Structure 1
Amino acid sequence: MTPLPPGIDTVAALLFDTARKLPDNDLFAVPRWLAETWRLPRAAISYRAVAETVAALAARYRAAGYGPGHRVALLLENRPDHFFHFLALNAAGAGMVPLNPDYGADEMRYALEHSESALVVALAERAAQVAPVAAALGVPLAPGADAALPPPRRAAPGGPAGLAAEAALLYTSGTTGRPKGCMLSNEYFLGWGEWYAAQQAPLQLRWGRERLLQPLPTFHTNATGNSFMGMLISGGAQIILDRFHPRSWWQDAVDTGATCFHYLGVMPAMLLNLPPSPLDRAHAVRFGMGGGVHASHHAAFERRFGLVLTNGWAMTETGGSATLVDWEEPRRIGLHCMGRANRPGPPMEARVVDDAGGDVPAGTPGNFLVRAKGPNPKRRFFSGYLKDEAATAAAWKGGWLNTGDIVRQDADGYFYFMDRKKAIVRRSGENIACAEVEQVVAEHPAVGEVSVLAVRDEIREEEVMAVIVPRPGRAPDAALANAIFEHCRARFAYYKAPGYIAFLSEMPTTATQKIRKADLGDLAENPARHPNCFDLRALKQQTKPRPNA
């Protein structure tokens, strides 16, 4: 792959450059059934057509009075219209604020007010959802992707141009408190493209030939940053889905000619749960890239579907500047390996440190710190948290981005994800990584999904709770709870085994298919009130090893 063309300093400029080189290539594609649902005139949209649409829409934005320093909120779901408006705003020098369509009124109000959005553009069928909030805040509303653009209430305040200009404000999906608004520049987005263009086999992008199946939401950086910029810089196509559909996944991959896909969370597990089908190997997919594949599913997924499933690590804040992927052979399959800092792409540095900031020995879990290598450690990272200088400074304490993740590094420099720093159960002075317990619980054949969290304990400070969705046909009863406990007890130290096991019919998840642990808070606070929660603390104490006489 060639690097970023010289002179390109905005996302829109890259679009127009690629459109000149590959005008007839598809930039967007949609499965036919979804194109019909959305009443799109065609299921594939060429670079030429996108460039023409974006140029015309950018002219409309400018004519309406939008320009540098303005932010426009987009409630356009996972549709081509989202990208049309993103690119048009970028061409006009303005930035976008993509809104989560699952937002309630309070969340919508916060995003519009905090971002100081000058306009909301919503799908016609979503306009009623945001209209009362927009009206209360005095924010103009365009009720449709093609609707007339009302003028802003204030003139464009101005701001940096080119690489430094803000292209988007993305809100991180925090589990507590208000989300933080990550300010993302043109340099950040172009950095995503350059990172992807630098990848080597099996992730190497072929000029004008890739078609990336993307089920993740456009209000997160994976879809709008990583995958979209990768396709834009390589002349590839982004295949847009409204969401993840496991039952039609492989049919959609075949019908749209997908050559790769991105994943998160429980998607691999859900695809493995499908009955065997000729479609399992009928596709042309070479690789899937993402993170969060369960250790016990990784090899099985590759064997069944005949592709490389890479595991990696990134944050909204890092962009491509500190993204890691375990791509080198032999890959460390099933070990939650993130790759190493000496990888293709922009040079980066990484450290694993203790709470005092000192480097820890190889093999020892610690706090994961990253930065760009060179004179500017923040190059191509996020520009900061909007209106929160304290949080920005805390994130960059000591000149390194503090990721909040716990990892370990082996003697060869490979990093392995352990847990989020806060995803720790502190029981009787022992720190227990939730991810470690989840991995063992998930290996029990009756477990479909699992999330481990801390429960307050009067004696031991905290106790381990495993919240489980059983596989179909398995009764959520005491016998199963005991069997899972014994499975865990046989695998690791007694204190790591769940003191509580609770069964649910389904797990609450975010739009990116990550388990929403915050929604399990009431269960953790009041386990006795849940009809399918079993208290195993007495059994756990019985299995505690006794000291030698």
Structure 2
Amino acid sequence: MESTGSTAAATVAELVLARWGDHRTGLRFAEGRLSHHQVTAGAAARAALLADLLPRHGEPHIGVLLDNTPEYPLWLSAAALAGAAVAGINPTRRGAELARDILHTDCAVLVTERAHLPLLDGLQLPSVRILVTDTDAYAELLAPYAGAKPEIARSVTPRSRMLLYFTSGSTGAPKAAICSQGRLAAAGGSLVGHFGIRPADTHYVCMPMFHGNAVIADWAPALAAGAGVALRRRFSASHFLDDVREFRATYFTYVGRAVQYVLATEARPDDRENPLRVGFGTEAGAVDAARFEERFGVRLVEGYGSSEGGAAIQRSPDAPPNAIGRSAPGDDLAVVDPQTLDECETALFAADGRLLNGATAIGELVNRGRSPFEGYWRNEEAEAERLRGGWYWTGDLFYRDADGYLYFAGRTDDRLRVDSENLAAAVIENILARYEGAAAVAVYAVPDPVAGDQVMAALAPPPGIPFDPLDFAEFLLSQPDLGTKMAPSFVRVVERMPVTATNKVARAALRGEGFRCEDPVWWRPPGSSSYRRLARPGLTELLAQYRAQGRRDLLDP
């Protein structure tokens, strides 16, 4: 059996240096390829440039506002050698919010490309040096450093900041989570062992690199194993299989609805003829994971990890279909009621698999033991909230069965309360995902006219297949594990599911628009089992009910 080639290293900088002299292909992209040695040489040149650009007494932070181009991993490697931290800047942010992200993370240098320059127009970024990678000026600036040998700065230790990656929340500005060189190197090494990653493997990086998933779960293990990396500038479902074949990719990561979009592409007779061995990610769901494996012959491994690194669960082969897995030995993960701090009841299931006691079994996942969470950059309030009472609070809902297996039930702000019963959006989504007339589904709460919430679903039909409300209603009636309060009162039919830049469903936007949106909405009035189109007369009648109960203002975001 081929050795994994994993390098035991305390820092990312050591992993970068270990690839010096390795002339195998290390980086593939649309325009060509670079060897591992060339990548390390490019990193050395950029690290030397950084030594001259970074302020002597300021924070050694650089912002990277790039698509997944070769410059991204080159600057990650350069920052590791130089002892600098990379703040991944989200290109979907605009105006004052974008400026805030750059300034909040104390970026002295911002690396970008011409395609993103319009985003910076009019922004006040005092003392920020902007480097535009696809320009002659950049090439001229870098040229004098081309012969630099790779060296690790004397300041680099395992505790050196490596990443400042933004995590989105339901309220407030995004928080910049800290990841050190030691934690990133350890995460990469752990995944090498878990998946048996080898030097001959190629990791397909199609998720955006400003997000922690692509760097921590895809780039880092490739670096640790000496495997190759293949870049897709931006995720494309229609080009996914072609890219995999062209790059001979064996491993990829995904987040959110990426798997659903690939499944929505037209099937080919030779779909299973591909080099992929495994996909690793979150939120694909058991139904779509099974469909993906059946169609492409590729196993998807659903893991769980809070963005900040405070809790993690990896799926075990013997886990029930909808479970993530058990907590790792030595971890102290618990599902608790945030109000009482008591552990929630053990999940009880009907013979058909339906969760019987969701109201008392679903709670927030906490880590009561030692947490690898390294804090937020300049946000003590958010850090204290995350670590309240000495526990790490994930912000995610789970339930646990009698054998200790943990089941994901959504975000804490994805909880619905219907007729005094607590429901979790993810549980309902897993059921609706079985519907063949849906390529993607998202479930969220809208206010009830009297009290609590009603269930609303956004549904994206497969291309060329119109939504059939009668067929959907019959599907709901045939699902034995769909509780009486779980059936959506509203169904919004979208051409494409709205997602964030990291391919997670844009739930805040969906909740904010509710049933008052431009897309077609189908309504199941109380006491009815069938859906009717929510036209203007029905909408007027519905709004009048909210107004009469004094809850009309709850519909406004």
State the TM-score bracket (shorter-chain normalisation).
0.7 to 0.9
Q: Deviating runs (4+, > 6 A) in structure 1? A: 1-4
Q: Deviations over 1:224-252 (max 9, x none)?
A: 12211101111101211112222222221
Residue of structure 2 equivalent to 1:289: 280
Residue of structure 1 equivalent to 2:74: 84
The AA in structure 1 aligned to 2:26 is L
Distance 1:425 1:230, change over 3 A: same
Q: Deviations over 1:485-510 (max 9, x none)?
A: 5456x652322211222222222111
Residue of structure 1 equivalent to 2:341: 357
Q: Deviations over 1:43-98 (max 9, x none)?
A: 22111111111112111111234567321111121111011112212222221112
Match of 1:163 among 158, 167, 188: 158
Matching of residue 232 in structure 1 with residue 220 in structure 2: no
The separation in 1 between residues aligned to 2:192 and 2:516, in whole angstroms, is 53
Identity score, percent: 26
Residue of structure 2 equivalent to 1:155: none
The AA in structure 2 aligned to 1:182 is A
Q: CA deviation at 1:516?
A: 0.5
Distance 1:25 1:412, change over 3 A: farther
Matching of residue 205 in structure 1 with residue 205 in structure 2: no
Q: Deviations over 1:257-284 (max 9, x none)?
A: 1112112222322333333324412212
The separation in 2 between residues aligned to 1:486 and 1:541, in whole angstroms, is 8
Distance 1:457 1:331, change over 3 A: closer
The AA in structure 2 aligned to 1:19 is W
Q: CA deviation at 1:434?
A: 1.1
Map of 1:430-449 to 2, 5 A cutoff?
430-449=421-440
Q: CA deviation at 1:424?
A: 1.1
Map of 1:52-131 to 2, 5 A cutoff?
52-66=41-55, 69-131=59-121
Distance 1:279 1:512, change over 3 A: farther
Residue of structure 2 equivalent to 1:276: 267
2:16–2:81 Cα contact (<8 Å) kept: no
Structure 1 stretch 352-361 or stretch 426-435: which is displaced more? 352-361
2:458–2:493 Cα contact (<8 Å) kept: yes
Distance 1:487 1:511, change over 3 A: farther
The AA in structure 1 aligned to 2:38 is A
The separation in 2 between residues aligned to 1:317 and 1:88, in whole angstroms, is 23
Secondary structure of 1:274 counterpart: coil
The AA in structure 2 aligned to 1:358 is D
Residue of structure 1 equivalent to 2:191: 196
Matching of residue 173 in structure 1 with residue 168 in structure 2: yes
Distance 1:472 1:247, change over 3 A: closer
Map of 1:226-265 to 2, 5 A cutoff?
226-265=217-256
Structure 1 stretch 450-459 or stretch 348-357: which is displaced more? 348-357
Match of 1:370 among 367, 370, 373: 367
The separation in 2 between residues aligned to 1:395 and 1:433, in whole angstroms, is 21
Distance 1:505 1:124, change over 3 A: closer
Secondary structure of 1:120 counterpart: strand
Distance 1:92 1:142, change over 3 A: same
Secondary structure of 2:499 counterpart: coil
Matching of residue 18 in structure 1 with residue 9 in structure 2: no
The AA in structure 1 aligned to 2:23 is D
The separation in 2 between residues aligned to 1:443 and 1:194, in whole angstroms, is 36
Q: Deviations over 1:501-548 (max 9, x none)?
A: 222222211122211111213421xx25656223313234999xxxxx
Secondary structure of 2:325 counterpart: strand
Distance 1:48 1:542, change over 3 A: closer
TM-score (structure 1 length as normaliser): 0.84
Distance 1:191 1:348, change over 3 A: farther
Q: CA deviation at 1:204?
A: 1.7
List runs of 5+ in structure 2 lacking aligned partners.
143-152, 348-360, 532-557
1:481–1:534 Cα contact (<8 Å) kept: no
2:6–2:226 Cα contact (<8 Å) kept: no
1:368–1:402 Cα contact (<8 Å) kept: yes
The AA in structure 2 aligned to 1:339 is G
Match of 2:527 among 539, 544, 549: 539
List runs of 5+ in structure 1 lacking aligned partners.
36-42, 150-157, 544-549
Distance 1:324 1:360, change over 3 A: same
Q: CA deviation at 1:170?
A: 0.8
The AA in structure 2 aligned to 1:348 is D
Q: CA deviation at 1:160?
A: 7.0
Map of 1:350-499 to 2, 5 A cutoff?
350-355=333-338, 356-363=340-347, 364-370=361-367, 377-378=370-371, 381-476=372-467, 479=470, 482-483=473-474, 486=477, 491-499=481-489
Q: Deviations over 1:376-427 (max 9, x none)?
A: x23xx34211222121122112333111111122233221111212101112
Distance 1:528 1:140, change over 3 A: closer
Distance 1:127 1:473, change over 3 A: closer
The AA in structure 1 aligned to 2:397 is I
Secondary structure of 1:394 counterpart: helix
Q: CA deviation at 1:127?
A: 2.7
Distance 1:368 1:248, change over 3 A: same
Distance 1:162 1:358, change over 3 A: same
The separation in 2 between residues aligned to 1:495 and 1:195, in whole angstroms, is 42
Map of 1:296-335 to 2, 5 A cutoff?
296-318=287-309, 322-328=311-317, 330-333=318-321, 335=322
Structure 1 stretch 220-229 or stretch 261-270: which is displaced more? 261-270
Distance 1:175 1:361, change over 3 A: closer
Structure 1 stretch 269-278 or stretch 56-65: which is displaced more? 269-278
Q: CA deviation at 1:214?
A: 1.8
Secondary structure of 2:526 counterpart: helix
The separation in 1 between residues aligned to 2:485 and 2:71, in whole angstroms, is 52
2:179–2:374 Cα contact (<8 Å) kept: yes
In angstroms, what is the RMSD of aligned CA positions? 2.7
2:4–2:197 Cα contact (<8 Å) kept: no
The separation in 1 between residues aligned to 2:345 and 2:375, in whole angstroms, is 31
Match of 1:518 among 491, 508, 512: 508
Distance 1:283 1:17, change over 3 A: same
Matching of residue 339 in structure 1 with residue 300 in structure 2: no
The separation in 1 between residues aligned to 2:156 and 2:517, in whole angstroms, is 57
1:77–1:242 Cα contact (<8 Å) kept: yes
Secondary structure of 1:198 counterpart: helix
2:386–2:392 Cα contact (<8 Å) kept: yes
The separation in 2 between residues aligned to 1:55 and 1:284, in whole angstroms, is 32
Residue of structure 1 equivalent to 2:34: 45
The separation in 2 between residues aligned to 1:138 and 1:398, in whole angstroms, is 40
The AA in structure 1 aligned to 2:363 is G
Residue of structure 1 equivalent to 2:177: 182
Secondary structure of 1:351 counterpart: strand
Q: CA deviation at 1:2?
A: 7.0
Q: Deviations over 1:412-450 (max 9, x none)?
A: 322111121210111221111111222222322222222
The separation in 1 between residues aligned to 2:217 and 2:509, in whole angstroms, is 28
